[in-house]
C-alpha cells in the first residue's frame, strides 16, 4: 500500500503523534508511507524521503492574522497548496488520509477539489468539529451545523477571533461543496460521540464512517509501581491523597481550570497537582495545589499518572480525551465532567462523570473514589488492551485495504 497522511503537525501534539504512530507502523510493515504537514516547533524535517513540511510557522501566523481580519477561513495558502499537489502527484498514493486541516497551513477547498477531480480515495479522520462546521473546534450547544451554519454565528466568531467580517454560512457551504466533489470519500471518528456527529452532518451523512479510537504508546503509559517514590520526592506522605489534572492550557475556558481551583478549595484535605500548565496563572492558587509546568518525557508524565489516586477531567468538550486513556493505562481512575466523548471512550468500571459545572456533585464523587481500594495493575492491564496504538493502527490499516479495493 501507498498511504499519504496530511495533518497540521507531525510527531508533536496529540494528532501529530497519532499520525506518527500510523506512519511508523506502515513503514515497519513494508508499506510506502508519507506525511505532509504544516507546522512544528522544529522547522527541520527529520526524514525528507517520507516527510514533507509545506510551509513555515511565520507564514501560517501571517495567514491567521489575515483570516481574523477578513473573517473567512482557509482561502490563503497559494504556495502551500501548490507544493502539496505536486507532492501528491509524485507520491501517487492509494489513499490520502486527512486529519486536521486548520491553522492556515493549507487550503482544503482547493485540495479536496483537486483530489476529487483526480479520483483519489480520501479518508477524513474527524478529531473535532472543524470539518463539519464553519471552522469551530467545538460547536458547544450550537446545532446550526446540522443544516448549515448561519452568516452571523457568535460561536464561530469567538473561536476565529474575527475582528471585522464574518462568513460562517459561506465557509460551511464551501466546505460542503469541497467534500461533495470527492467521489470516493470516507470518514472516521475518534470516538462514538464524534462519529455520531459526523453521520449527522450533511457533509458526510451519505458516506461510510467508522469509529477508530485514538491509540497511545503503552510502552510509556503503563502503571509504574515505583511512582510512589515520586510522591515522597514531592513531599507527600504515603497516606496523603493526590488528585492529578493534566492540561496544556489551564486558562482556556474549554479546559475548565477554574473548576480545579474551586474543587481544591472545597477539598482542603486533598492535594491537587496540575501538570503541563503554561504561562502565568491569574487564579488565587490554594495551598493544596501544586503546578508542574513541564514534564521532560512521556515516561515522567506516566509517573505522575501512576502516583496519583485519581485523575480529574474538567473539560467542557472533548472529542476523545487522551488524558483519560493515558491515566487509565497508568492504572489511575478518571473522574470529571461529562464532555461528550470521555464518557463514551472511558472504561466504565474505572471512571465516573457528572453534569458539567456541578462541582458539588463532582466533589462527592471524588471523595467516593478516593475511599475505594483500587488495584492499579488490573486497571492498567485492562486499559492497555483498549488503548494501545497497535490496535488503532490495525483498524486504520484494515480501512485502507477496504478503501483501496472498493
Task: Give the contacts of 14 (CB within 8 A, at least 6 positions apart).
Answer: 127, 214, 322
Superfamily for domain range 225-387:
Glycogen Phosphorylase B; (3.40.50.2000)
- Helices (DSSP H) in 11-56: which residue ranges? 13-28
Supply the pLDDT for residue 134: 73
Supply the pLDDT for residue 319: 94
- On the question of a common fold for 2-215+389-404 and 225-387, the answer reads yes
Contact (CB, 8 A) for 242 and 273: yes
- Exposure pattern of 93-122 as b/e (b: 16+ CB <10 Å)? bbbbbbbbbbbbbbbbbbbbebbbeeebbb
Average pLDDT, stretch 97-120?
90
pTM: 0.91
Is the CATH number of domain 2-215+389-404 3.40.50.2000?
Answer: yes
Supply the pLDDT for residue 40: 79
Report helix, strand or coil for 36: strand
Integer CA distances (angstroms), 101 to 9, 20, 104, 200, in order: 10, 16, 8, 20
Average pLDDT, stretch 326-351?
97
Q: Read off the pLDDT of residues 279-324 as tens digits, 9 standing for 90 and up.
A: 667 678 899 999 998 887 899 999 999 999 999 999 999 999 999 9
- Exposure pattern of 126-138 as b/e (b: 16+ CB <10 Å)? bbbbbbbbbbbbb
Supply the pLDDT for residue 120: 98
Question: For the residues of 264-332, what is the DSSP string, one character each?
Answer: HHH-TTSEEEEES--S---S---TTEEEE---SSHHHHHHHHHH-SEEEE--S-BSS-HHHHHHHHTT-
Q: Which residue has the cell 507564514?
A: 59
Burial (Cβ within 10 Å: 0-12, 13-18, ≥19) of residue 334: buried
Boundaries of every domain in the chain: 2-215+389-404, 225-387
Supply the pLDDT for residue 284: 80
Supply the pLDDT for residue 148: 82
Task: Give the contacts of 345 (CB within 8 A, at least 6 positions apart).
Answer: 191, 192, 213, 320, 321, 324, 325
If one counts every other C-beta atom within 10 angstroms of the C-beta of residue 48, the result is: 9
Supply the pLDDT for residue 165: 55
Supply the pLDDT for residue 61: 72
Contact (CB, 8 A) for 136 and 129: yes
Amino acid at each position: 500500500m501507498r498511504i499519504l497522511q496530511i495533518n497540521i503537525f507531525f510527531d508533536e501534539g496529540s494528532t501529530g503523534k497519532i499520525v506518527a504512530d500510523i506512519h511508523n507502523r506502515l513503514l515497519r510493515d513494508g508499506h510506502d508511507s508519507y506525511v505532509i504537514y504544516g507546522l512544528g516547533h522544529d522547522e527541520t524535517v527529520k526524514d525528507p524521503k517520507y516527510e514533507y513540511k509545506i510551509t513555515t510557522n511565520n507564514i501560517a501566523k501571517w495567514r491567521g492574522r489575515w483570516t481574523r481580519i477578513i473573517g473567512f477561513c482557509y482561502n490563503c495558502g497559494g504556495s502551500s497548496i501548490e507544493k502539496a499537489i505536486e507532492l501528491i502527484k509524485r507520491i501517487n498514493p492509494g489513499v490520502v488520509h486527512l486529519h486536521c486541516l486548520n491553522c492556515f497551513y493549507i487550503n482544503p477547498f482547493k485540495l479536496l477539489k483537486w483530489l476529487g477531480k483526480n479520483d483519489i480515495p480520501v479518508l477524513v479522520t474527524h478529531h473535532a468539529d472543524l470539518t463539519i462546521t464553519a471552522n469551530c473546534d467545538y460547536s458547544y450547544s450550537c446545532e446550526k451545523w446540522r443544516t448549515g451554519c448561519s452568516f452571523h454565528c457568535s460561536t464561530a466568531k469567538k473561536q476565529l477571533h474575527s475582528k471585522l467580517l464574518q462568513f460562517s454560512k459561506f465557509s460551511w457551504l464551501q466546505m460542503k461543496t469541497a467534500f461533495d466533489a470527492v467521489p470516493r470519500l470516507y470518514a472516521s471518528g475518534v470516538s462514538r460521540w464524534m462519529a455520531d456527529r459526523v453521520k449527522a452532518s450533511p457533509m458526510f451523512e451519505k458516506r461510510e464512517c467508522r469509529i477508530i479510537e485514538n491509540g497511545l504508546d503503552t510502552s510509556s503509559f503503563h502503571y509504574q509501581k515505583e511512582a510512589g517514590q515520586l510522591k515522597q520526592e514531592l513531599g507527600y506522605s504515603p497516606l496523603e491523597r493526590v488528585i492529578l489534572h493534566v492540561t496544556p492550557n489551564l486558562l482556556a475556558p474549554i479546559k475548565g481550570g477554574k473548576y480545579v481551583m474551586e474543587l481544591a478549595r472545597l477539598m482542603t484535605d486533598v492535594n491537587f497537582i496540575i501538570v503541563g500548565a503554561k504561562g502565568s496563572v491569574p487564579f488565587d492558587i490554594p495551598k493544596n495545589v501544586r503546578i508542574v509546568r513541564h514534564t521532560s518525557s512521556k515516561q515522567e508524565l506516566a509517573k505522575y499518572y501512576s502516583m496519583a489516586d485519581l485523575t480529574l477531567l474538567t473539560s467542557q468538550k472533548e472529542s476523545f480525551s487522551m488524558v483519560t486513556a493515558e491515566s487509565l493505562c497508568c492504572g489511575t481512575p478518571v473522574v470529571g465532567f461529562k464532555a461528550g466523548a470521555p464518557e463514551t471512550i472511558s472504561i466504565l468500571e474505572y471512571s465516573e462523570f457528572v453534569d458539567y459545572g456541578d462541582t458539588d456533585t463532582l466533589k462527592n464523587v471524588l471523595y467516593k473514589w478516593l475511599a475505594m481500594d483500587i488495584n492499579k495493575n488490573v486497571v492498567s492491564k485492562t486499559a492497555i488492551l483498549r488503548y494501545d496504538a497497535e490496535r488503532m493502527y490495525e483498524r486504520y490499516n484494515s480501512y485502507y485495504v477496504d478503501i483501496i479495493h472498493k
